[in-house]
C-alpha cells in the first residue's frame, strides 16, 4: 500500500483547481456515477461455485413475480416525486467550488501533535486498500458465504453412489424341539457358516433408489436333511424402488440443493452488506480524523490570539481595565486551553479508531506515531439523480437480494412440505440370480450364477397412508405462513431501502447548501474580526474607556470566528460522508470505489491445507481520476 512517510509537516498542497480536482477524483472514485455492466462485484456468480437458477415452473413463476413486484414498486416510488429539490436548495447548487484556505486545505495535512514522531500521510485509497487487505472483521464476513456454500455439496452428496460391504461368521448350537430339525431326538442343531455381502446403491434425482448386491457364503450343519452337508452359495440381486407420490419427482429431490444455493448467495449478500458498512465506517472515521486535526489547529490559533489579548489587558493594568474585564479574558483563555486539550484527545481517539478498523500491522512495524489524512475533502457540488439512485438501489442493494432469496427459499420449502403431505406409494422391483455348490465351494457357486438360468424376479407396490396427517399438515401450514412472511419482508426491505435512498439523497442535496452557508458565515466572521483589528490599528493611541470594551468585543469576535470555522469544517465532513453514504444506500459503494471480489485458494495457517478464500481488492484509481478530470475540465 503506497504511503508517504516524513518527519516534518507535509509540503503545501497544490492550489491549482485543475490539479486539485484531479486529486479529488482519484480519492472519490466515481461518486455519482451509475454502475456499469460487467462490473458488478455483488453478483454471486463472481465468487460462488454454483449459482441458483430456477428450474421448475413454480420457481420460474415465483422469480418472475418477484421481478415484476420490484418493477411495480419502482414505478410507485418514482411517481410520488420524493426526490424533488426545493428552489432554495437548488439555488445553492450554483455556488461552485469553495475557495481553498490554508486553515482547512493546507495546515491539517501537516504534522499536528508535538514531539518527535514518525508520521504517515494516507489517502482514502490507502485506507480502503488497507482495510480490505488486513481487516479481521472483513475476513470474518468473507468466510460466511464459503461456509454456507458447503451446504450445496452436502445436499448433492445424498445422490452420491455408495459402496457397502458386510462379512459375518456364525456358529450356532441350539437344542432342538423336533426331530425334523436334525433328524434325531434330543439332539442339538449345530451350524457354522459365513456370509459376505457387497455392492453399490445410488439415489437418483427422480427419487429412484437402485441397489446391486452380491452375496457369497458357505454353510454346514448336522442336519440329515441338509444335503450336501457343506454348501457354497452365491447370489446377485438388483433392486429398484421408485416413489410415486411422497418423495418422488425431480422437483422435490432437487429442493434441498436449490435451498442450499440460495442460502450461499444470501451469505454472499450479507458479506457485501457488511463490507459496504465497514468501508462506510472507515470513511467516516477518516474524515473525523481530518475534522479533529483541523479543529485542533484552529483552537490552537484561538488560544494564541486570546493569550495576546490577556497580555495586553494585563499590561494596561489600572489604566482603563477593571478587574472583571481581565477576569473574563482570563476565563476565556482557560476555557479555550481546555478545549484545545479536548481537541487533541479527539485526534488521538479518531486515529485509534482508524487503526482498529484497518488492523494494518504496517503501522506497528514502521512505528508510526501520527497518521495524517492525505486527501482533501470534496468542496464542489456533485449532482445526484434521484430516479437513477432508486433504480440502482433496487438492482444492487444486498438487503433486497437477501429478501428475494429468502422468499424463493420459502417457496421451495412450501412445495416440499406440500409433497410430504401425500401418502407413501412406492413401486418396488427386484431381479436376481443365484447358485449353490457342494463341498462349500463358494467360488464355483459365484461363477455358476452367471450361467444360463432363469432369473428370480418380482415387483409390487408399497403404500402407507397416515389417517390424520396432523404432523405433515402442521409443517405445510408453517411453510405457508413463512412464505407469506417472507413476501412481507421483501416489501419491508423495499420500503426500508427506498427510505434510506431518500434520506441519503436529501442529505447530499442539503449538505452542500449547508457547506456553502457555513463557509459564508466563516468568511463573514473573519471579515468582522479583520475590521476590529483594523480599527484597533487606527485607534491605537486612543487610550480611553472604550479600549477595554473593544478588547472584550475582540474576544467575542474571535470566539464567533472559531465557532463559524468549526461549523464549516463539520458541514464539509458531513457532505463528504454523505456522498459516500449515498453510494452505500444505492448499493454501489464497491463499484464507485473500484472494489472487485475474487475467489482464491489460500493455505490455512492451522492445518496447512489449501482452503477457498474470498478477497476484496481495490483497483488503482488513477485511470478513473484522469477520466473524471477530463470530464470536469
What pLDDT sits at residue 23?
A: 33
Please report, to the nearest 10 degrees, the dihedral formed by the alpha carbons of residues 513, 517, 518, 522 taken in order: 150
- Span(s) in the chain for CATH 1.20.1600.10: 4-135+254-413+476-632
d(CA 271, CA 80): 33
Give the count of beta carbons closer than 10 Å to the beta carbon of residue 296: 22
Query: How far is CA 286 from each of CA 127, 292, 365, 566, rounded to the nearest angstrom?
Result: 8, 10, 21, 17
d(CA 605, CA 251): 41
Q: Residues near 230 by Cβ (< 8 Å), separated by ≥ 6? A: 218, 219, 220, 438, 439, 440
Alpha-carbon Rg for the chain, nearest whole angstrom, is 40
What pLDDT sits at residue 547?
A: 61
CATH class held by domain 4-135+254-413+476-632: mainly alpha
What pLDDT sits at residue 598?
A: 86
Strands (E) across 521-589 are located at none
Q: Residues near 566 by Cβ (< 8 Å), separated by ≥ 6? A: 295, 298
Read off the pTM: 0.82
d(CA 355, CA 357): 5
Average pLDDT per block of 10 residues along the chain, 633 residues long: 35 32 34 38 68 91 93 84 59 71 88 81 91 93 93 94 94 83 78 93 95 94 84 92 94 94 94 95 96 92 85 68 73 87 92 93 89 91 89 93 95 95 95 86 81 85 90 95 96 94 92 91 89 67 55 83 93 95 93 87 71 84 44 44
Q: Which of 389, 445, 412 is nearest to 74 (CA)?
A: 389
Report helix, strand or coil for 152. helix
What pLDDT sits at residue 597?
A: 87
Q: Cell digits for 326?
A: 481581565
Report helix, strand or coil for 11. coil
Q: Report cis status (omega within 30 of 0) of the bond before 127.
A: no
Please report, to the nearest 10 degrees, the dihedral formed by the alpha carbons of residues 132, 138, 140, 141 taken in order: -120
- In the beta sheet, which residues pair with residue 220? 192, 230
Q: Residues near 591 by Cβ (< 8 Å), separated by ≥ 6? A: 30, 35, 36, 39, 40, 41, 396, 583
By CB atoms closer than 10 A (0-12, 13-18, 19+), residue 18 is: exposed
- Bridge-based pairing of strands 368-373 and 118-122 is parallel
Report helix, strand or coil for 457. strand
d(CA 406, CA 223): 67
- CA end-to-end distance (rounded Å), the chain: 29
Please report, to the nearest 10 degrees, the dihedral formed by the alpha carbons of residues 564, 565, 566, 567 taken in order: 50
Residue 164 has phi, psi (to 5 degrees) of -145, 155
Report helix, strand or coil for 268. helix
Q: What are the helix and strand counts (H, E) for the chain?
A: 17, 11
Amino acid at each position: 500500500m503506497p504511503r508517504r512517510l516524513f518527519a516534518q509537516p507535509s509540503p503545501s498542497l497544490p492550489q491549482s483547481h485543475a490539479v486539485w480536482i484531479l486529486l479529488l477524483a482519484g480519492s472519490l472514485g466515481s461518486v455519482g456515477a451509475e454502475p456499469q455492466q460487467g462490473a458488478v462485484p455483488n453478483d454471486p456468480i463472481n465468487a460462488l461455485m454454483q449459482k441458483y437458477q430456477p428450474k421448475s415452473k413454480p420457481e420460474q413463476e415465483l422469480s418472475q413475480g418477484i421481478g415484476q413486484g420490484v418493477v411495480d414498486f419502482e414505478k410507485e416510488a418514482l411517481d410520488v416525486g420524493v426526490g424533488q429539490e426545493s428552489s432554495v436548495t437548488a439555488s445553492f447548487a450554483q455556488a461552485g467550488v469553495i475557495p481553498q484556505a490554508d486553515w482547512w486545505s493546507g495546515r491539517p495535512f501537516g504534522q499536528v501533535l508535538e514531539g518527535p514522531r514518525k508520521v504517515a500521510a494516507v489517502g482514502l485509497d490507502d485506507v480502503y486498500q488497507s482495510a480490505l487487505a488486513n481487516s479481521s472483521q472483513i475476513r470474518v464476513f468473507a468466510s460466511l458465504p464459503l461456509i454456507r456454500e458447503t451446504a450445496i455439496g452436502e445436499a448433492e452428496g445424498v445422490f452420491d453412489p455408495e459402496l457397502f460391504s458386510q462379512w459375518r461368521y456364525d456358529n450356532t448350537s441350539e437344542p432342538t424341539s423336533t426331530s425334523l430339525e436334525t433328524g434325531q431326538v434330543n439332539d442339538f442343531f449345530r451350524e457354522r457358516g459365513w456370509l459376505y455381502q457387497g455392492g453399490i446403491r445410488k439415489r437418483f434425482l427422480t427419487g429412484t433408489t437402485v441397489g446391486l448386491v452380491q452375496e457369497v457364503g458357505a454353510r454346514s450343519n448336522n442336519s440329515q436333511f441338509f444335503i450336501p452337508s457343506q454348501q457354497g452359495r452365491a447370489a446377485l440381486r438388483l433392486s429398484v424402488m421408485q416413489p410415486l407420490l411422497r418423495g418422488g419427482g425431480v422437483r422435490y429431490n432437487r429442493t434441498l440443493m436449490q435451498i442450499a444455493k440460495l442460502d450461499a448467495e444470501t451469505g454472499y449478500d450479507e458479506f457485501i452488506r457488511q463490507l459496504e458498512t465497514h468501508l462506510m465506517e472507515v470513511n467516516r472515521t477518516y474524515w473525523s480524523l481530518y475534522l479533529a486535526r483541523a479543529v485542533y489547529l484552529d483552537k490552537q490559533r484561538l488560544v494564541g490570539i486570546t493569550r495576546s489579548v490577556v497580555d495586553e489587558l494585563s499590561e494596561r493594568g489600572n489604566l482603563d481595565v477593571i478587574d472583571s474585564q481581565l477576569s473574563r479574558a482570563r476565563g476565556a483563555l482557560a476555557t479555550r486551553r481546555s478545549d484545545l486539550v479536548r481537541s487533541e484527545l479527539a485526534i488521538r481517539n479518531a486515529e485509534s479508531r482508524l487503526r482498529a478498523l484497518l488492523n494494518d500491522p504496517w503501522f506497528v512495524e514502521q512505528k508510526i506515531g501520527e497518521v495524517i489524512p492525505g486527501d482533501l475533502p470534496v468542496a464542489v457540488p456533485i449532482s445526484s439523480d434521484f430516479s437513477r439512485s432508486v433504480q440502482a438501489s433496487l438492482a444492487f442493494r444486498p438487503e433486497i437480494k437477501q429478501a428475494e432469496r429468502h422468499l424463493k427459499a420459502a417457496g421451495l420449502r412450501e412445495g416440499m412440505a406440500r409433497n410430504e403431505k401425500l401418502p407413501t406409494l412406492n413401486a418396488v422391483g427386484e431381479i436376481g440370480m443365484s447358485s449353490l455348490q457342494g463341498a462349500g465351494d463358494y467360488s464355483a457357486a459365484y461363477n455358476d450364477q452367471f450361467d444360463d438360468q432363469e432369473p428370480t424376479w418380482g415387483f409390487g407396490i408399497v403404500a402407507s397412508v397416515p389417517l390424520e396427517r396432523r404432523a405433515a399438515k402442521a409443517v405445510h401450514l408453517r411453510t405457508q405462513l413463512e412464505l407469506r412472511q417472507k413476501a412481507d419482508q421483501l416489501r419491508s426491505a423495499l420500503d426500508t431501502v427506498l427510505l434510506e435512498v431518500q434520506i441519503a439523497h436529501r442529505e447530499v442535496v442539503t449538505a452542500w447548501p449547508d457547506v456553502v452557508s457555513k463557509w459564508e458565515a466563516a468568511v463573514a466572521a473573519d471579515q468582522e474580526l479583520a475590521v476590529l483589528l483594523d480599527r484597533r490599528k487606527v485607534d491605537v493611541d486612543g487610550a480611553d474607556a472604550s479600549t477595554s470594551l473593544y478588547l472584550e468585543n475582540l474576544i467575542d469576535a474571535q470566539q464567533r470566528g472559531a465557532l463559524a470555522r468549526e461549523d464549516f469544517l463539520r458541514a464539509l465532513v458531513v457532505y463528504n460522508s454523505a456522498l459516500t453514504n449515498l453510494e452505500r444506500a444505492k448499493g454501489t459503494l464497491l463499484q464507485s470505489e473500484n472494489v472487485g471480489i475474487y475467489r482464491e485458494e489460500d493455505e490455512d495457517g492451522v492445518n496447512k491445507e489449501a482452503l477457498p478464500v474470498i478477497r476484496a481488492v481495490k483497483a488503482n484509481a488513477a485511470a478513473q481520476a484522469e477520466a473524471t478530470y477530463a470530464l470536469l475540465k
